[in-house]
C-alpha cells in the first residue's frame, strides 16, 4: 500500500496537524460568537492551507506516478493522465 512519497510525508503530516488546529480554532471562534468577518478570514486561511497540501501532493504524484506511467507505455500513461486530470478538475472547481 506504500506509494513512495515518504520523502515529504513528515511535511504533509505537519501541515495537516496545523490545519486540524486551525479548524479547532474556528470552532472556538463560532462558540464564542466572534465577528463573522474574522471567522471568514480564518476559513479562507484554512482553505489556502488545504490548497497548498493539494498542490504538494499533486507535485509528488506527477514526479513519481505520472513519470513512471509515461515510461511504462502509452496505455499506462493515458490512464494515469486521465486520472490526474480528473483530480485537477476537482481542485479547480
Contact residues: its own copies, CB under 8 A: 1-6, 9, 12-13, 16-17, 19-20, 23-24, 26-27, 30-37, 39-41, 43-44, 46-47, 50-51, 53-55, 57-63, 65-67, 70-71, 77-78, 81, 83-85, 87-93
Q: How far is the CB of 60 from its own copies (least distance, A)?
A: 7
Using alpha carbons, list the distances in angstroms from residue 56 to 13, 30, 32, 59, 65.
Answer: 12, 30, 34, 5, 14
- CB 29, CB 39: distance < 8 Å: yes
Q: How far is the CB of 26 from its own copies (least distance, A)?
A: 5
Q: How far is the CB of 80 from its own copies (least distance, A)?
A: 9
Sequence-distant (≥ 6) Cβ neighbours of residue 3 within 8 angstroms: 64, 65
Amino acid at each position: 500500500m506504500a506509494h513512495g512519497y515518504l520523502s515529504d510525508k513528515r511535511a504533509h503530516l505537519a501541515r495537516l496537524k496545523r490545519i486540524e488546529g486551525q479548524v479547532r480554532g474556528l470552532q472556538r471562534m463560532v462558540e464564542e460568537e466572534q465577528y463573522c468577518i474574522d471567522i471568514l478570514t480564518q476559513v479562507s486561511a484554512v482553505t489556502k492551507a488545504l490548497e497548498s497540501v493539494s498542490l504538494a501532493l499533486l507535485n509528488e504524484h506527477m514526479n513519481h506516478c505520472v513519470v513512471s506511467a509515461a515510461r511504462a507505455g502509452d496505455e499506462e500513461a493515458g490512464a494515469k493522465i486521465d486520472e490526474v486530470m480528473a483530480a485537477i478538475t476537482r481542485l479547480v472547481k
